[in-house]
Amino acid sequence: MSQPLQNPKVDARDRGHLGFLAFVLLCFFAASSTPTPLYHLYQQHWGFSPALLTLIFAVYALSLLVALLVVGSLSDYLGRRPVIFAALLLEALSMLLFICASDVSWLLSARLVQGFATGMATSALGAALLDTDPTQGPLVNSIAPMFGMTAGALGTSALVEFAPLPLLLAYAVLLTAFVAQALYLWRTQETVTPQPGVWRSLLPSLHVPQRARATLWLVLPADIAAWALGGFFLSLTPSLLAAATGSRSVLNGGFAVAALTISGAVTIMKLRMRPPRMALLVGCSFLALGVLVILAAVNLGLLWLFFVGTVVAGIGFGSSFLGALRLLLPLAHAHERAGLMSAFYVLSYLAFCVPALIAGLSVKHVGLIATTNIYGLIVVSLALTALVALLVALRQSGKVSQVSGVRS
């Protein structure tokens, strides 16, 4: 198995590399949300259904899952830099496919390549961040995806509204960023020593250390609820806002994603020094409350109330993600980090894409508003289930006082 290099101290150069790796991770997630504000335009140009829209979204997530299963542990054996470099090249190729897109088949191809690239990068970058700075690594792993999705959705919305070439410009900017990052990557330090076993690591599998399995089951319902909500926002929210409120502004879709992810990122910053179980309790509570407010807004047709509920749900999204990561990651040794990260993201992205795909298929039969109501109530049920399970676990372990910070 791979071993960490003998450089336990984090110096100024390491901090610079930490910032670079964080920026790369942010760009991958920005690219993942860039198509969201454009889906409505694609529909207008090419006339496809909500079911096909969610299929385009799901292809990305399913391809990402395949990458996590097949190459999720590859950087533990081959090294972080080669895997991240390959992911950057694939991501650049996906941007070119988006730029050249002339029909739905191009979009499907672009999302397929992009999903695999993101899956390849996610576990390797996550592990590299932990290798570079074990203290700040979990925090960066938590907030970079949030800020990335915000930048992609909101930035693309602004470019569509105020700049020329609405279907091209955002992808061109990201293409430039990925090429530059691929060139700069080789100036960073490799953080693990390559080891034999590369081909064996490519066999599809999930690597969850025995000591982390009980904790994974504990955080899983909250994680499913949070990522299922995120998948819905990144696929159907622009269409939902148009149907529920009558608003046709492209900016609304970007603002919706931004409200969810920025509130999540701010919450992560606020709770990063608090016990992880407290973050999970906050996450489950606010997630359930926020989704209920969103459902009220959708049924009343109130755009402002929708954004209020989104901010509340975003607090739950961010704190759930932070609590889950902070509980899980310390349970893995250096040679297990990429494997555990890939397993965690496999489960997260299954929740991210499968419910959204089912929702897209159900729109044709029951309508978008009714689908949203059913979807939202399921998310609320999962969040409340996770809340009860966490309280029971805390009571059984005698650690209720830890949540309030009375003792560690």
Over its length of 408 residues, how does the chain's per-residue pLDDT go in tens digits? 444 443 444 455 566 788 999 999 999 999 999 998 888 788 888 887 777 888 888 898 889 888 888 888 888 888 899 999 999 999 999 999 999 999 899 999 999 999 999 989 988 998 899 888 887 887 788 788 888 988 998 899 888 888 888 889 999 999 999 999 999 999 888 888 888 877 777 777 667 777 778 888 888 899 999 999 988 988 888 788 888 888 777 788 888 988 998 999 899 888 888 888 889 999 999 999 999 999 999 999 999 999 999 999 999 998 998 888 788 877 777 667 667 777 787 788 789 888 988 888 888 889 999 999 999 999 999 999 999 988 888 887 765 445 544 444
In the block, residue with structure tokens 């949203």: 372
Q: What is the pLDDT of residue 314?
A: 95
Burial tier of 251 (Cβ tally within 10 Å: 0-12, 13-18, 19+): middle
Q: Give the pLDDT confidence of 284-342 residue by residue, as tens digits.
A: 999 999 999 999 999 999 999 999 999 999 999 989 988 887 888 777 776 676 677 77
Q: Which residues contact 381 (CB under 8 A, 6 or more apart)?
A: none
Domain boundaries, the chain: 3-192+210-397
Residue 199 and residue 202: Cα distance in Å, rounded?
5
3-192+210-397: CATH class: mainly alpha
Q: Which residues contact 191 (CB under 8 A, 6 or more apart)?
A: 4, 5, 80, 128, 131, 132
In the block, residue with structure tokens 């025995």: 210
Q: What is the pLDDT of residue 84?
A: 96
CB 312 within 8 A of CB 289: yes
Strands 192-193 and 3-4: antiparallel
Residue 404 and residue 408: Cα distance in Å, rounded?
10
Burial tier of 266 (Cβ tally within 10 Å: 0-12, 13-18, 19+): middle
> If DSSP codes are grouped into helix, strand and coil, which group holds residue 205?
coil
Q: What is the pLDDT of residue 13?
A: 57
